[in-house]
Amino acid sequence: MSNDKIKIRKANLSELNAVVDLYNDICDSLEEGINYADWHKDIYPTIDDARLGIEDGVLYIALIDDQLVGSVKLRHEHDDAYLSAPWLTENDYSKITVIYTLAVHPNAKGQGVARALLDFAETTARAENNVSIRLDTVYGNTPAEKLYLSCGYKLIGTVHSEIGPDKFDLFEKLL
């Protein structure tokens, strides 16, 4: 499927339940197989994660034929674990986009949704004159790691976390 069939726009509060359904469908699917992302229903991502993303104006949704097939949050904030990493750029987060909660519905896998969301993040970051994009994934999330590397992100390192999964791999893409 070509990316021109995938429309990406900012989510609004009336779509909160649809975003939560997306998260829950993904969590259900992950529980049926290998849960590379270590996402769990009602733990992460949650309705509160979606609501805050919408209220803060940082949650974007991907649609194919008006069907919600993915979402992503784009922020200029970092997790504490990011501070000790050997990043390629300085830690001026006013000029760095951080990707959070990149989600693709199980029925839309293989249709280019994740790549379209990453392309959208890059286009948005460039329009804001940012110097890089950063993101993390649970250590050992092989499908996500392959995607990020194929999209030009560099693996920066692995950090330990005080909350959630023990280790995260950090990625950065220079713009």
Query: In the predicted model, what is the mean pLDDT of residues 156-160?
Result: 92
pLDDT of residue 1: 42
131, pLDDT greater than 80: yes
Q: What percent of the chain has pLDDT over 70?
A: 96
pLDDT of residue 95: 97
151, pLDDT greater than 80: yes
112, pLDDT greater than 50: yes
pLDDT digits (tens, 9 = 90+) for 44-103: 999 999 999 999 999 999 999 999 999 999 999 998 889 889 999 998 999 999 999 999
pLDDT of residue 165: 65
Of the listed ranges 18-27, 69-78, 82-91, 129-138, the least confidently predicted one is 82-91
pLDDT of residue 81: 84
For 114, list phi and psi in degrees, rounded to 5. Answer: -60, -45
Top pLDDT among 88 and 163 is at 88
Q: Is the C-alpha dihedral spanning 37, 41, 43, 48 positive or negative?
A: positive
163, pLDDT greater than 80: no
On whether the CB atoms of residues 138 and 31 are closer than 8 A, the answer is no
Total-model pTM:
0.94
**Domain extent at residue 27:** 3-174
The answer for residues whose C-beta is within 8 angstroms of residue 156's C-beta and 6 or more apart is: 85, 86, 87, 88, 170, 171, 172
Joined together, the tokens standing for residue 155 give: 């693996």
Query: In the predicted model, what is the mean pLDDT of residues 147-164?
Result: 89
Q: Find how far residue 126's CA is from the centre of its chain.
A: 17
Q: Is the C-alpha dihedral spanning 49, 147, 79, 76 positive or negative?
A: negative
CATH of the domain at 120: 3.40.630.30
Q: How many structural domains does the chain have? A: 1
